[in-house]
Structure 1
Amino acid sequence: MEGVGLSAVPSEVWESTELIKVDLSRNSIQELPVELSSCINLQTLILSRNKITHWPGAILQSLPNLLCMKLDNNPLRQIPPGGFQAAPMLQILDLSGNVASLPEHPAFSSLPHLQELYLRQMQLREVPSEVLSLQQLRILDLSQNSLQLVPVEFKNLASLTELGLSDNNISMLSPELGLLEPSLQALRLDGNPLRSIRRTVLDRGTKVVLQYLKDKIVED
């Protein structure tokens, strides 16, 4: 039911308890109906580009099989400190564009199975520290924020294959980032005022950049 002008979800949608995926993106939905709680087999919930203001924690607790949730580009207010505990099996979470949604110390460690995390356009000034504990994380997108530093601890995210850092305020990269080679396949750095790496190196792509950084560790 993507982009069909809904302000509320028709009750017939929830009559089937066999629902595995629901796509309600690009509508005008402000809150989720309680009937959603009965969809215990739901694995994917896409709510992108709606008018949702509150974190649906109570409903999420009734969806034990939920693996993917996309809440990007909603006017979402701050997520409660323990909000992520409502969906501990999540593998994919997109909160992009929800500027005020993250609490001061977002408890991403409550999502130990997370493989993809999208935090674009959230005016982040630093990487939330608990992101660095997500050992299964494969894709992390932090583009279009206000980041100035890339934490050295990124080197411990051994499963990372894609790291999006485009359009931030990053001027230097820690050489330890090179330790993510060869698992890291895509490192996106365009739109940053980088001074520590020559443009000729950057233009040659992820593999060359990571090798360059790794070589700097040996030099240091």
Structure 2
Amino acid sequence: MRALFTVADGGYRHLYPLVPLARDLTERGHPVAFAGPSHLTALADEFGFPTVTLSRDPAAGPDVAPASAATPSLSRAPTAVGRYLRNAVHTVPELRTAARDWQADVLVRETAAWSAWLVGELDELPVAVPDYAPTPPRLLAMLLGGLFQQARSLHRWLHLLVGPPRWFPARSLGPATQIRQPPPALYGASEMPSWLSELDGSRPCVYVTLAVVEDGGMLDLFRTGAP
């Protein structure tokens, strides 16, 4: 089985969750490749996978759409999610060609890589989606309409939910949904810093993360919390 993994145009968080599954398929003897924007295919290449670079939609804008924190989340959603929808439509022709050239038997997409869903619908290719925070199709239709009016077919193929079953409301589960344990970490276990054992509880301890992409422009902001 030849699997073409597809990632949307965004940060590393779009690719990292797919790597353990791609590794598992490779170890089982199934050829795997990644398709996506250049900065993510470069990372997939570092993990040892063949890659196909898809062009970026010049009209899509930045990875995170600017919005006031006071703006209701439902008001921000069409702008934020619409960016991925526009990018999906933009990359469909290239992804169709890549799937044909790779002779893909299945497409595996991360949550925001709707281009794979569209190609699957057009070319009758099965599409699997590993998911961590599923959005109910009816909510997508309410936010964006149009393409998602038929979102009941969004998970017509294999839908893998990763996490404890109680994390997911019943409306997020479909006939093709399977719940699985989280994959192993991409990198080996690391030791906790020694200074953690010195904390005596007399002062609050705040954990701050840079997420999966270190933004050099924000390092000074994070350093302000250092002792």
TM-score of Structure 1 vs Structure 2, range by shorter chain: under 0.3
TM-score (norm 2): 0.27
